[in-house]
A = this chain, B = another copy of it.
């Protein structure tokens, strides 16, 4: 599960236009003023005016309706800012509108001094002190149409900055906490996406799909066919924006190859004989909701739904990439870690006509055509399967599986069921996963135990077949 790094701003820009359009009414008479609004790069003299306006919003004169209209004006400016302007705007909030440390200290002192009867008020005061002015300001967007989407996109900008500059991190964490309270999983709506769904929403799936690119409307339609399912979570205040979505294929037996699964000419599966649901793609759609987690919940709810709709379906599993696998091999080889046993190293070196087996392995994998040569593939197959089992079952960082997708499914209680040789022959599949794919199996009877074993003791559950590869 990942969130596609999207360079093209097409969708983002369109979203921004939509947001401003939605605010037309709230902006009302103020629109005239906007014409002479803040300049896109927010130069210093505009920064002074910006500060005044934020202050007005915070003072909250005229109640929340007026405050919203002022917030909408500032938001409309933000949307029209360029990168420099946005960065300067967020920097201002980061530096000048953080928590009042004196007030926070006072609240902490009061809590410590409070007796039982004073505690409720003291706690309330501490909670209040933990809400910084910038968060109070941003909360005013909640009631604006598209206002939540605005905040999510603003946080995407903020995260981008926070990755470079620690100055923004406290602000980012505050905004994450606010969004997390609003996006409580209890408030989300699971909706099925079908070919009857509005095109404007389907188009977003095409844009947001992060695992296996949707190449065309025909490809999309095939993924929504009668032997497929697609589900997404939505928030009631953002009914047209998927938060996360999952694509499922109903098949017979565990699927082992993603190209076969996505083949538009493949015959439809007879739903009366399908016994397995394959989750072959999960994509987060909102970069600004990073750190707010929905995936586990989505998978469990979809399993529940499918179980009701298809009583014959008894196995729920993924067909997943192993996105860090090839990079791990390269890095381990570079660090000189022992990856190969002598006979493997010898065979590879021979095949490649080089001295070092690990170099040969790295070279083959970089070449991306090794799988087309049967002899090469035959040599690589047992090696890559063994290394992949090691990568998934044994390699750790800070107690977590190295591979992010593995960590996600193992945390959810899934088990590593099977490795699929040449399960993804695409350029991306070869580049990231050395062409392999893995099935994570969600067995409802053991999910709780697997989850405990992994999160508690760091123990990975896998089938014997996979363990035997080691």
Binary per-residue interface labels of chain A (39-73) against chain B in the complex, 1 for a CB within 8 Å, 0 otherwise: 00000000000000000000001111110000000
| Chain B residues closer than 8 Å to A181, beta-carbon distance | 181-182
Number of A residues contacting the other chain (C-beta, 8 Å)?
65
User: Complex: how many Å from CA A186 to CA B66?
Assistant: 13
Q: Please, how many angstroms separate the alpha-carbon atoms of A66 and B301 in the complex? A: 10
A63 and B198 within 8 A (CB): no
Chain A 292-316 per-residue mask, 1 if CB under 8 angstroms from chain B, else 0 = 0000110011001000000000000
- With a cutoff of 8 Å between Cβ atoms, the chain B residues found around residue A188 in the complex are 143
Listed stretches A152-160, A167-175, A375-383; interface member: A167-175
Contact in complex: A195, B196 (CB < 8 Å): no
Render A427-448 as a binary contact track against B, CB cut-off 8 A, 1 for contact: 0000000000000000000011
Are B177 and A127 touching (Cβ within 8 A)? yes
Docked complex Cα distance between A194 and B198 (Å): 9
Is A2's CB within 8 Å of the partner chain B? no
* A186 and B61 in contact, given A124-B177, A195-B199, A448-B66 (Cβ under 8 angstroms): no
Interface string of A161-195 (1 = CB under 8 A from B): 00000100110111001000110111110000011
- Judged by a CB distance under 8 angstroms, whether A6 is at the interface is no
Say which residue of B147, B184, B237, B304 sits within 8 Å of A142 (CB atoms): B184
Residue pair A300, B447 in contact (C-beta under 8 Å): no
1/0 contact string of A369-400 vs chain B (CB within 8 Å): 00000000000000000000000000000000
- Contact partner of A196 (CB less than 8 A), chosen from B172, B199, B448, is B199
Write out the residue numbers on chain B whose beta carbons fall within 8 Å of the beta carbon of A452. 61
Q: Which of A105-133 contact B (CB under 8 A)?
A: 108, 112, 116-117, 119-121, 123-124, 126-127, 130
Given A116-B170, A127-B177, A195-B198: 19 more A-B contacts, CB < 8 Å: A62-B448, A63-B451, A64-B300, A65-B297, A65-B304, A117-B166, A124-B173, A124-B177, A127-B130, A142-B185, A143-B184, A143-B186, A148-B186, A182-B187, A195-B200, A196-B198, A196-B199, A197-B199, A199-B202
Give 18 A-B contacts (CB < 8 Å), ordered by A residue.
A62-B451, A63-B297, A63-B300, A63-B448, A64-B185, A64-B296, A123-B174, A139-B184, A140-B186, A141-B186, A182-B184, A182-B187, A186-B237, A187-B236, A195-B203, A196-B199, A197-B199, A199-B221
